[in-house]
Amino acid sequence: MDFIAVAEDLRRKLGDVKIVAHGRSNGGLLVAASAIMRPDLFNAAVIGYPVLDMLRFDKLYIGRAWVPEYGDPSNSEDREYLLKYSPYHNIRPREKYPPMYIYTGLNDDRVHPAHAFKFHAKLREYGHQSYLRVERSSGHIGSTPEVLAEETADYIGFIYMVLNK
């Protein structure tokens, strides 16, 4: 994965650099999958409005429309591939993951907030550091400028907290 290769290159070239990955929507999938696959590369992960359960994405909202892009979880060959990187399915109890900040909105009509809820709950169940922000008024693209500013301030505050420990 190119994203992981870039993080590896940063670590190799800059040594003890701190890396916080941030992605939203499909970028949230990228960041979550990368942090789960290679937790040693990241100091924190910020994951917004994400698709995280790659074996059930097609069951929620418009997820069925994404089958041509991701593959069909009901097809055994596709399912095997999806399982390899599905963030939700690859959380391990004894792994040391970076702190994760997950944010979503109850009015997201593209990516069901259940993806964020389940992922956060499983991380916490296994004792990993995870924070969840749920916005009541925003959808997938966002909300009012005030809500977007609050949302941004919250995840920047998380990054500041993590990097200054």
Active site positions, annotated: 25, 140
Round to whole Å and give the CA distance between 90 and 158: 24
Burial (CB < 10 A; 0-12, 13-18, 19+), residue 33, is buried
Angle at CA of residue 141, ends 140 and 142, nearest 5°: 95
Would you say the C-alpha torsion 131, 48, 106, 67 has a positive or negative sign? negative
Across the chain, how many H-helices and E-strands are there?
6, 4
Element (H, E) at 129: none
